[in-house]
Amino acid sequence: MFVVVCAVLAGLLLAPAPPAAAWDDWGGGYGDSGYGGGYYNETEDREWGQEAAREAGREKRRDELEVKKAADSAEHAAYTDSIIEASKASVQAPRGVYYRKPGFVSGEAPGSGAQVIEEAGVKVFYEQGIFWVKQGTQYVVIAAPVGVVVDTLPAATTKVATKTAGEYGYFFGTFFQRQEKKFVIVKPPAGLNVTYLPDGYATKGTQEATLYAVGNITFKPVFVMGVLVYQVVGS
Amino acid sequence: MPLKKSRWFVSAVCISLLAVGGAARAEEKSSIEPRAERILLAAITNLAAAKSYMFRGETTTEGQTPGGHRLEYAGTVQGAVRRPDHAWVRVENEDVRRTNWYDGKTFAYLDVAANVYATWPAPPTINELFDKLKEKLGFVPPMAPLMRQLDGKEVLKSAKSGFYVGEAIVRGSACSHLFFSQENNDWELWIDNVVPVIRRMVITYKKLPGAPKYSVTFTDWDFNATLPDSVFAFYPPPGATRAEFEIVKP
């Protein structure tokens, strides 16, 4: 073993030094050129020089790609941040539910299954809990008009109730009450609890007594049996 | 079942185990295998004797989307206890992030995700706190049975049946796998064969739609924990909103 180690050390010490010019040209960054300690050779040196020049070009392109990648990454991060920020706008809203907040504009018309309602001379399209009106060539989401009667409830409607006021359907700030086989948009009674507020709510009051406003409806935060809910205090 | 229903599971865990702790009495005669009873009581006695300890676990909570798709939420739970009058517990998963503080005078409850908190003047001991919370506010913090001092004799009175399932390995520890059935829930426990601590538990809410499960695999138990007052002191986070507790029974 000792003989082997000595032989290796001797080999390392006695091996010819790599050519200085070629060594300097490695500045491109290759750490493993395959150079094995061979003898100096002028042709080889020239080839190495050419290769180093090509490598410098490749390195430049790599740098450019890195800059572009960083820019793309920053753009992507900004995009995801904006999505996260937008999602924070609602409080505890259920995930995986189709929802568009008032003011949202779309170039696409509501689906063919949308219910068409005449409200104050304006044609309103109702689909999956969302109310749309046409503005020029586009469609804009509006707040649910109180008093309007719709045929169906959105799939993610939550049942909410008070002991005295009865049962209501709740979907992203809109309250429904059954009217025979249909449902009417209503102002909620005080004391009704909902488990989330939709995107676009506003806060008012102080930190010690914060209130949340969704359109004309005002809520206060309350823990009911350990679960945070938002209780209607006025509408 | 709405997605938010899963929020109730964690609270339900406490309530169900609390019931095991002697809050309710089964009307039917129970059928508990003596071996299962002996192993469970050893774990309860061990925990009741501890003066200051911490635990940490990884949780899964089953839920369901409004469209009926079944989901599983991964999370963690951490707790710290200094008997008889200090407790702290935090649960975090994809759906719920809450922390509870109790310093012998005040109980504080923070919904971390919404940054909303409430405080409540509390009784002088952990056991009294949990009794009063359940009575007045309708809930107890997660893992309450692991923090209160339970009387082993009372523990199994709400179980209808129970048996020793077999030997198991949980995170490298040899454990006894136990099963117990209550009226509303079934629960399974994996108790360490060397030191009688709970290594894992699974609660099945058999009366809820889809019979969802809640599981905890305990990754740490520290019975030599040094827990200063600061662990149990609540300071509202910046920008936090104060809310009220709804009193379910005045």
**pLDDT tens-digit readout, A156-208:** 898 998 888 889 999 999 999 999 999 999 999 999 999 999 888 888 887 67
Cα torsion angle, A61, A63, A69, A74, sign: negative
CB pairs under 8 A between A and B: 78
Q: For chain B, which ranges sit under pLDDT 70?
A: 1-30, 66, 152-153
Rounded Cα–Cα distance for residues B167 and B190 (Å): 9
Please indicate, yes or no, whether residues A216 and A146 belong to a single structural domain of this protein.
yes
Please indicate, yes or no, whether residues A175 and A71 belong to a single structural domain of this protein.
no
CB–CB of A153/A169 below 8 Å? yes
**Number of separate domains in chain B:** 1
The angle subtended at Cα B237 by Cα B235 and Cα B242, nearest 5°, is: 85
Please indicate, yes or no, whether residues A128 and A223 belong to a single structural domain of this protein.
yes
Q: Print the domain residue range for A137.
A: 105-234
Please indicate, yes or no, whether residues A111 and A195 belong to a single structural domain of this protein.
yes
Instruction: Decide if B68 is inside a domain.
Output: yes
pLDDT for the residue numbered B150: 83
Q: Which of B4, B240, B244 sits opposite A207 (nearest CB)?
A: B240
pLDDT tens track for A26-82: 222 222 333 333 334 455 556 666 777 777 788 888 888 888 777 777 776 665 555
Residues 6+ apart with CB under 8 A from A122: A133
Instruction: Decide if A212 is inside a domain.
Output: yes
Other CB atoms within 10 Å distance of the CB of residue B85:
19
Higher pLDDT, A209 or B171: B171
Instruction: Decide if A90 is inside a domain.
Output: no
Please indicate, yes or no, whether residues A67 and A149 belong to a single structural domain of this protein.
no
A228 interface with B at CB cutoff 8 Å? yes
Please indicate, yes or no, whether residues A129 and A167 belong to a single structural domain of this protein.
yes
Instruction: Decide if B200 is inside a domain.
Output: yes
Instruction: Decide if B40 is inside a domain.
Output: yes
Please indicate, yes or no, whether residues A77 and A111 belong to a single structural domain of this protein.
no
Please indicate, yes or no, whether residues A174 and A219 belong to a single structural domain of this protein.
yes
pLDDT for the residue numbered A48: 61
DSSP assignment letter at B44: H
Instruction: Decide if B250 is inside a domain.
Output: no
Please indicate, yes or no, whether residues A113 and A206 belong to a single structural domain of this protein.
yes
Instruction: Decide if A34 is inside a domain.
Output: no
Dihedrals φ, ψ of A124, to 5°? -115, 135
- Partner-chain contact A96 B245, CB within 8 Å: no
Rounded Cα–Cα distance for residues B250 and B244 (Å): 14
- Which token pair is B186? 């079934």
Instruction: Decide if A169 is inside a domain.
Output: yes
Instruction: Decide if A32 is inside a domain.
Output: no
> Which residue of A lies nearest to B142 if distances are taken between CA atoms?
A226
> Taking a contact as any Cβ pair under 8 Å apart, which residues of chain B between 73 and 112 contact chain A?
98, 109, 111
Instruction: Decide if A1 is inside a domain.
Output: no
**Number of separate domains in chain A:** 2
pLDDT for the residue numbered B1: 35
Q: Print the domain residue range for B163.
A: 3-242
Please indicate, yes or no, whether residues A120 and A157 belong to a single structural domain of this protein.
yes
- Partner-chain contact A225 B248, CB within 8 Å: yes
CATH number of domain containing B157: 2.50.20.10
Instruction: Decide if A194 is inside a domain.
Output: yes
Rounded Cα–Cα distance for residues B174 and B176 (Å): 7
Instruction: Decide if A62 is inside a domain.
Output: yes
Please indicate, yes or no, whether residues A145 and A201 belong to a single structural domain of this protein.
yes
Please indicate, yes or no, whether residues A129 and A213 belong to a single structural domain of this protein.
yes
B26 interface with A at CB cutoff 8 Å? no
pLDDT tens track for A93-136: 676 678 888 888 999 999 888 999 998 889 999 999 999 999 99
DSSP letter for each residue of chain A? -HHHHHHHHHHHHHSPPPPHHHHHHGGG--S----------HHHHHHHHHHHHHHHHHHHHHHHHHHHHHHHHHHHHHHHHHHHHHHHTSBSPPSS-----TT-EESSPPPTTPEEEEETTEEEEEETTEEEEEETTEEEEEPPPTT-EES---TTPEEEEETTTEEEEEETTEEEEEETTEEEEEPPPTT-EES-B-TT-EEEE-STTEEEEETTEEEEEEEETTEEEEEEEE-
Amino acid B77 reads V
